Amino acid sequence: GDRTATARAHSNIALIKYWGKRDAALNIPAVGSISLTLDALSTDTTVTFRPGLEQDEFWLAGTRADATRASHLLDIVRDSSGVGSRAVVESTNNFPTAAGLASSASGFAALAVAASSAAGLSLKDRELSILARRGSGSAARSLFGGIVELHAGTRADGLDSFAEPVLAAAAWPLTVVIAITELGQKSVNSTTGMGGSALTSPFYPAWVDTGNDDVAAMRLAIANREFQQLGELAEYSCLKLHGLMMSTRPALLYWNAATMAAIHAVRELRANGIPVYFTIDAGPQVKALCPPEHARTVADALGQVAGVHETRISTLGRGAQLLS
Ligand code: DP6
């Protein structure tokens, strides 16, 4: 009969960015990365292996969507479990998908946990993280809560490329204010974008060469609870990434006018004594990092920036979990 399981995973935002793969087929990152798991953004996914079903189905918020990437992860689960049937995958986000916040991170982390459980595998966290990574690199980090590091590893099989918790959410309360500068998703997908950077940007070798140093410096800032250090390193990694993106052919220019205005608003707040730093992924939304006591001020300031549609405040969240 049917074999089913439901899991929840939270999204994450990288402080030290992952961009580029050392193995595209196994989806192994070329550089390590460090992220914050976000309490406010989560995905719930139910996987049902159904004998007799002709092909995998992927439903996002009740609408049928392309199942190719989900199928790829399900194939890995079928191979290692011996479950042969196709599956129905039903996913919902707790945030409006149209806001361009839908992330592959929470989606593939929830899928890895639900699919492996439905197939009767009892994988350890590390194995789940590797499985999620095969779906999407950033998803490996969403297995864990708080602050998380994804190792690039060196093994050809990628078995040393998994994420690990660096610090529990409660150990250092940090807040992320998300400024939504564009509704809808027009961005170039990360997988395609990073493939282009590796092939065409003259900055790519330097990006890979300096990645480990950035991870090491961030680890130290976290160990010492140095917020200014953390913020400066996060902005540095973000701007270095966007320099790499802009020097890709064709150029990956993810920012809009409001993205730039929000960056300046963050710098202006800082000039006025508020400890706040920005980071931006492969899209136009701006995420501002600050201690909790400044979150309201930061959200109000970003909410007044021309072109910012709305702001959301998130604390650090927990790791992926099985719901049933
Ligand atoms: C800019 O994890 O989406 O958000 O492994 O190809 O699915 P794939 O890429 P993905 O890339 C994330 C890129 C980023 C930086 C980060 O999250 O580290």
What pLDDT, on the 0 to 100 scale, is given for residue 188?
86
* Average pLDDT score over residue span 20-46: 97
Q: Over the chain, what is the mean pLDDT?
A: 96
Tokens of residue 193, six digits: 């974008």
Share of the chain above pLDDT 90, in %: 94
In whole angstroms, how far apart are CA 66 and each of 56, 60, 70, 101, 210?
A: 10, 9, 8, 18, 36
Using one digit for the tens of pLDDT, what is the confidence trace for 261-278? Answer: 999 999 999 999 999 999
What pLDDT, on the 0 to 100 scale, is given for residue 14?
97
Listed residue (244, 216, 21) closest to 136, CA to CA: 21
| pLDDT at residue 98 tops 80 | no
Listed residue (117, 145, 115, 112) closest to 129, CA to CA: 112
Tokens of residue 228, six digits: 């200014």
Sign of CA dihedral 166, 70, 255, 195: positive
| Ligand 1 centroid from CA 260, angstroms | 21
- Pocket test residue of 18, 43, 131, 194 for ligand 1, highest count of atoms within 8 A of CB: 18
Grade residue 185 by pLDDT with cuts at 50, 70 and 90: confident
15 CB within 6 A, ligand 1: no
281 CB within 6 A, ligand 1: yes
| pLDDT at residue 99 tops 60 | no
285 CB within 6 A, ligand 1: no
27 CB within 6 A, ligand 1: yes
| Inter-residue contact 306 to 258 (CB < 8 Å) | yes
Grade residue 290 by pLDDT with cuts at 50, 70 and 90: very high
Q: State the ipTM, two decimals.
A: 0.99
Identify residue 138 by its one-letter amino acid code: S
14 CB within 6 A, ligand 1: yes
CA 247 from chain centre, in angstroms, equals 23
| pLDDT at residue 97 tops 90 | no
Listed residue (280, 244, 249, 246) closest to 262, CA to CA: 280
Using one digit for the tens of pLDDT, what is the confidence trace for 35-80? Answer: 999 999 999 999 999 999 999 999 999 999 999 999 999 999 999 9
What pLDDT, on the 0 to 100 scale, is given for residue 100?
58
In the chain, where does DSSP find H-type helix? 68-81, 104-118, 125-135, 190-200, 204-223, 227-246, 257-271, 295-303
What pLDDT, on the 0 to 100 scale, is given for residue 324?
81
- At residue 315, what are phi and psi to the nearest 5 degrees? -95, 180
280 CB within 6 A, ligand 1: no
* Average pLDDT score over residue span 167-179: 97
Share of the chain above pLDDT 70, in %: 98
Grade residue 186 by pLDDT with cuts at 50, 70 and 90: low
